[in-house]
């Protein structure tokens, strides 16, 4: 079998990773690397130290003060609630951010795909929980190939047949693979039915020679965007009750329950009430987006303000000659067509749509806070952060509007 990547490859890229430290609180390309990249791209100026407003657009920008505040809020909350965070890298796909999360106390990083796990491991992230089951022989082999190098790789299963396949592949790769049982919270997207079916699967995993049971996960995606804190709390606690009862069955049967992972950005301050839950797999909190802002929080029924919008798209106005509207260079390929639409940061009385491939349009309402001229730049709060990030090769990390680092979105497009 050809290994998807080798120990030598990992060491080479880990070495390169060490060189991308920037002398501030952030990681990214060094000034020398940026100069080399600029030379290769025809002499464009390195953006380090530039105002974000001088960047070419569309550009993906992350505000470091907001990002750091979001990470700190999450850590403070989960710690005071007696649980941990295991942030999901499906949101940022960015090794620099995963590293920040681990350095500030997260117990591991979740990934949605084997390819995301491979990229993060290549960049030195070695505590990885793959939250999606692998069902094809190829993916299972790739996962076991990764497990061979990465002791901290844990993966999910939700059927007996899949557990047997994993065990056989682990034995063929010469490893004992760490596995959690995915329990369905009721949405029937993934996972096995809680109670006896989940218990029997866990017992099988515990018996199979190629596997080591580490516990369970139960991600209640259907509750994350329920509007209103009370409604969200009631729904998710009810839906997770069966998973908590399943965990008790595991315990009574002498099975390992060291991991009981679940929850997301919408329920991060609720999930600790589910008995036995060890950590939240929060993703969007690092960036926030319009979809999450609208769900409302414990303090405000209309605006979820626990976390700050840290991720924006910088766009330029291309046309302003028609009454009531303007056109920008950030359309569907820069913003996606997710709803609600992106929002112009700091402005009111205007609606932004990104239905056209390369063009965004602004419609002014009667009370618009301003109008734009050709060449003006604006910042958009993203609609839904995960798919937007997946459109860009890099993000500009800025503080007070100045570019401090350029972060590779190294797992961008890694969907297998």
Interacting residues of 57 by C-beta distance below 8 A, sequence separation 6+ = 314, 315, 316, 329, 330, 377
281 makes contact with ligand PLP (CB under 6 A) = yes
- 122 to 151: interface string for ligand PLP, x by CB under 6 A: ---------x--------------------
Alpha helices per DSSP H over 81-185: 95-103, 114-122, 137-149, 160-173
**Alpha-carbon distance 224 to 191, whole Å?**
17
Name the segment binding ligand PLP (CB under 6 A); options: 33-41, 216-224, 395-403, 405-413.
Answer: 216-224
Residue 252 CB, nearest approach to ligand PLP (Å): 27
Binding window for ligand PLP (CB under 6 A); candidates: 15-23, 45-53, 237-245, 275-283: 275-283
How far apart (Å, rounded) are the C-alpha atoms in residues 186 and 85?
23
Is there binding between residue 282 and ligand PLP (CB under 6 A)?
Answer: yes
95 lies in the binding site for ligand PLP (CB under 6 A)? no
- The residues, any chain, with a CB within 8 Å of residue 146's CB and separated by 6 or more, are 4, 114, 117, 118, 121, 153
Q: Is 276 in the site for ligand PLP (CB under 6 A)?
A: no
Least distance to ligand PLP, CB of residue 191, Å: 10
The answer to whether residues 316 and 375 touch, using CB atoms and an 8 Å cutoff, is yes
| Distance between CA atoms of residues 24 and 49, nearest Å | 12
CB of 320 to ligand PLP, least distance (A): 36
Binding flag, residue 187, ligand PLP (CB under 6 A): no
Beta carbon of residue 309, minimum distance to ligand PLP (angstroms, whole number): 14
SS (H, E, C) 352-401: EECCCCCCEEEEECCCCCCCCCCCCEEEEECCCHHHHHCCCCEEEEEECC
Q: What secondary structure letter does DSSP report for 27?
A: B
186 lies in the site for ligand PLP, by CB under 6 A: no
Binding segment for ligand PLP (CB under 6 A), chosen from 20-28, 217-225, 295-303, 311-319, is 217-225
Q: Which of 57, 85, 91, 246 binds ligand PLP (CB under 6 A)?
A: 91
Chain positions contacting ligand PLP, by CB under 6 A? 88, 91, 110, 131, 219, 221, 224, 264-266, 281-284
């Amino acid at each position: 079998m050809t290994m998807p990547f080798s120990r030598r490859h990992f060491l080479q890229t880990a070495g390169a990773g060490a060189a991308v430290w920037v002398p501030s609180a952030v990681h990214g390309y060094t000034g020398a690397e940026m100069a080399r990249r600029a030379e290769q791209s025809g002499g464009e100026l390195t953006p380090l130290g530039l105002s974000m407003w001088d960047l070419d657009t569309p550009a993906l920008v992350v505000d470091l003060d907001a990002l750091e505040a979001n990470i700190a809020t999450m850590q403070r909350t989960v710690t005071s609630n007696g649980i941990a965070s295991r942030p999901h890298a499906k949101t940022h796909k960015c090794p620099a951010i995963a590293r920040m999360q681990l350095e500030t106390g997260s117990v591991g990083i979740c990934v949605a795909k084997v390819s995301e796990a491979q990229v993060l491991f290549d960049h030195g992230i070695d505590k990885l929980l793959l939250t999606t089951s692998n069902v094809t022989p190829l993916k299972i082999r790739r996962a076991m190939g990764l497990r061979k190098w990465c002791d901290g790789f844990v993966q999910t299963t939700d059927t007996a047949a899949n557990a047997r396949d994993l065990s056989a592949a682990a034995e063929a790769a010469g490893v004992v693979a760490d596995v959690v049982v995915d329990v369905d919270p009721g949405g029937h997207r993934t996972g096995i039915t809680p109670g006896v079916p989940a218990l029997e699967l866990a017992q099988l995993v515990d018996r199979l020679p190629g596997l080591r049971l580490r516990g369970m996960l139960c991600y209640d995606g259907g509750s994350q965007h329920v509007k209103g804190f009370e409604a969200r709390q009631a729904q998710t606690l009810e839906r997770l009750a069966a998973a908590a009862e399943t965990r008790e069955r595991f315990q009574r049967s002498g099975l390992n329950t060291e991991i009981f992972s679940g929850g997301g950005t919408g329920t991060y301050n609720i999930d600790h009430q589910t008995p036995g839950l060890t950590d939240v797999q929060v993703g969007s909190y690092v960036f926030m987006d319009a979809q999450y802002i609208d769900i409302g929080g414990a303090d405000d029924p209309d605006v979820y303000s626990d976390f700050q919008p840290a991720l924006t798209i910088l766009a330029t106005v291309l046309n302003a000659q028609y009454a009531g509207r303007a056109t920008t260079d950030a359309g569907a390929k820069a913003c996606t067509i997710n709803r609600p639409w992106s929002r112009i940061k700091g402005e009111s009385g205007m609606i932004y749509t990104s239905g056209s491939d390369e063009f965004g349009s602004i419609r002014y309402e009667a009370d618009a806070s301003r109008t734009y001229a050709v060449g003006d730049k604006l910042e958009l709060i993203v609609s839904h952060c995960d798919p937007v990030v997946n459109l860009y090769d890099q993000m500009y990390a800025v503080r007070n509007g100045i570019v401090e680092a350029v972060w590779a979105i190294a797992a961008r497009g890694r969907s297998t």
